[in-house]
Structure 1
Amino acid sequence: MDRSLIGDLAHTDHPIASPLDDDTVDALLRRALAGQRSVLDLGCGDGTWLLRALRLNRGLHPELHAVGVDLSGAGFERTRTAADAEGLGDRLELHVADAAMWSTDERFDVVLSIGAAHAFGGLVPAVEAAASHLQPGGRLLVGECFWEQPPNDAALGALGASADDYANLASTVEAVRSAGWEPLHAHVSSLQEWDAYEWSWTGSLTRWALEHPDDPSSAEVLTVAAEHRAAWLGGYRGTLGFVTLLLGDGGP
């Protein structure tokens, strides 16, 4: 099975593809979008962040325009269908494209890039790419991993990572400040949020495989779930953190 489809299946019960609970997502969107008219999500997954944004702003800012870009496009039709059913489809655009290469003349009040820094070559390049689509005075909402504690060999092996792939939290924040952006707010995902996300990720795949034993991809999907669960529980649990930062332009 195509890995983008496996990823879409893994997020069946947790469509926010990051270790964030529903209340946190809503709170972050309310802060970021207060009084704003347009939002872009680079590396948007299935577009769930944007659909949530439109729902939250249905009454307060019914003119909100939401645009998403993702290379896979997995789940786009599902999200478009949901948006249409809720009367939001005319305010949602989803584009299948490389978020790092996509261009438009439109500039946005808010740009999101949550858990997609790898597509840009790291956090600072992701911030710079997001900023290139931003209106003057706009806001960025970015989410990225960091080391909660120095990673041991088990964590690095489980992630297929090196110790310099991420920094600690303080250094992560200083990196975006050095790039000219100041934190207006942040949320550090709790271990409970990580656990809920990982159990959902592996559980959704396991359930699908058990419910489709005759599907040619069933064994592969079950293996992916088991390998991911082992890497998390036996490797990076409690070591890999995640921070979501709301940023304002710090000027020169």
Structure 2
Amino acid sequence: MEQHDSFQLAKYSALTWNAPLSEHHASSLLKHLDLANATRIVDLGCGWGELLLRAAFEAGPSSQAIGVDTDPVVLARENATPKTAGWGASSDTRAMLEHLATVVPKGKVLIGDTCWERSPTEAAVAIFGEEIPRLSDVVVFSRQAGWKVMHVSTADTREWDDFESGHRAGPRGWLLENQGDPRAPDIEAEQNRREDEYQTVYRGVLSFAYLVLAR
């Protein structure tokens, strides 16, 4: 594998999944999905498929599991190349929920989306943009799109700390083994910058909502 590829893979190597999510929280979400009688499970934005695999295990051997993602780096972790069909990436939460209703006319879905835990500072908005909704907005958008909100939870500070630390641990492990690489100074500066932003700008401000929806 080329040296560049080794760094790309290292970026996510310390993460279980690409979201602020604990083992206990993941198990709880799967329980609320009630997958015992599921015949097909589709994970849009599946990353390397860890949560999808666990969902498939919960559903049993008769279910079909399909994962879709467009990030070549996370797909490379599992050497997967799924194709998208009738699904377009969107940063608009309301549009995503409305389109999801056409993809899943009946059944349950689990969505995960960033939201503001409390009013953001100008610095936080500068990093993440003005499109990030509040949790209450996500709930309202879900109802307006015709979904019944079955369960709502958010990532706590410990989950965020673990997630952010995991994002740093992979690249920093790579740096320890590749100190002579010409990209090392820039990579280290980038990791330090992102860590400082988390600690000083959006820790406790940005949240991540998980909603189990049904229709």
Tell me which interval the TM-score lies in, with the shorter structure as reference length. 0.7 to 0.9
Instruction: Compute the displacement of 1:51 (Å).
Output: 1.9
- 2:115 match: 146
- 1:66 match: 65
Instruction: Compute the displacement of 1:122 (Å).
Output: 1.2
- How many residue pairs match? The answer is 211
Instruction: Give the alignment partner of residue 161 of structure 1, picking from 126, 129, 150.
Output: 129
- 1:107 match: none
Contact 1:37 1:65 in 2 (8 A): yes
For each residue in 1:110-142, what CA deviation from the matched residue of structure 2 results, as whole angstroms up to 9, or x when unmatched? xxxxxxx9x3131122223333332x4311110
Instruction: Compute the displacement of 1:154 (Å).
Output: 2.4
Q: Matches of 1:25 and 1:196 in 2, distance apart?
A: 14
- After TM superposition, list the pairs within 5 Å mapping 1:122-201 onto structure 2: 122-134=92-104, 136-157=105-126, 159-162=127-130, 165-201=131-167
Instruction: Compute the displacement of 1:74 (Å).
Output: 2.8
Q: Matches of 1:168 and 1:78 in 2, distance apart?
A: 32
Question: Root-mean-square deviation (CA), in Å?
Answer: 2.6
Counterpart of 1:74 in 2: which secondary structure?
Answer: helix
Instruction: Compute the displacement of 1:103 (Å).
Output: 3.1
Q: Matches of 1:133 and 1:140 in 2, distance apart?
A: 11
- 2:195 match: 229
Q: Matches of 1:48 and 1:243 in 2, distance apart?
A: 19
Percent identity (aligned): 27
Instruction: Compute the displacement of 1:47 (Å).
Output: 1.9
- 1:103 match: 86
| Pair 72,235 (structure 1): closer, same or farther in 2 beyond 3 Å | same
Contact 1:209 1:219 in 2 (8 A): no
Q: Matches of 1:41 and 1:223 in 2, distance apart?
A: 34
Q: Matches of 2:50 and 2:190 in 1, distance apart?
A: 23
User: Which fold has the larger relative contact order, with Cα–Cα distance below 8 Å and residues 6 or more apart in sequence?
Assistant: 2
Amino acid at match of 1:140: V
Instruction: Compute the displacement of 1:224 (Å).
Output: 2.6
Instruction: Compute the displacement of 1:213 (Å).
Output: 1.7
When structure 1 is superposed on structure 2, of 141-150 and 123-132 the one drifting more is 123-132
| Pair 37,202 (structure 1): closer, same or farther in 2 beyond 3 Å | same
TM-score (norm 1): 0.74
- 2:13 match: 12
| Pair 219,96 (structure 1): closer, same or farther in 2 beyond 3 Å | farther
Amino acid at match of 2:108: R
Instruction: Compute the displacement of 1:75 (Å).
Output: 4.2
Amino acid at match of 1:26: S
- 2:213 match: 247
Amino acid at match of 1:120: S
Q: Matches of 1:230 and 1:196 in 2, distance apart?
A: 15
Instruction: Compute the displacement of 1:223 (Å).
Output: 2.7
Instruction: Compute the displacement of 1:15 (Å).
Output: 2.9
**What stretches of structure 2 of length at least 5 have no aligned partner?**
none
- After TM superposition, list the pairs within 5 Å mapping 1:77-92 onto structure 2: 78-79=77-78
**What stretches of structure 1 of length at least 5 have no aligned partner?**
81-93, 105-116
| Pair 189,63 (structure 1): closer, same or farther in 2 beyond 3 Å | same
| Pair 160,27 (structure 1): closer, same or farther in 2 beyond 3 Å | closer
Q: Matches of 1:153 and 1:188 in 2, distance apart?
A: 23
Instruction: Compute the displacement of 1:27 (Å).
Output: 2.0
Structure (1/2) with the larger strand percentage: 1
Instruction: Compute the displacement of 1:77 (Å).
Output: 5.4
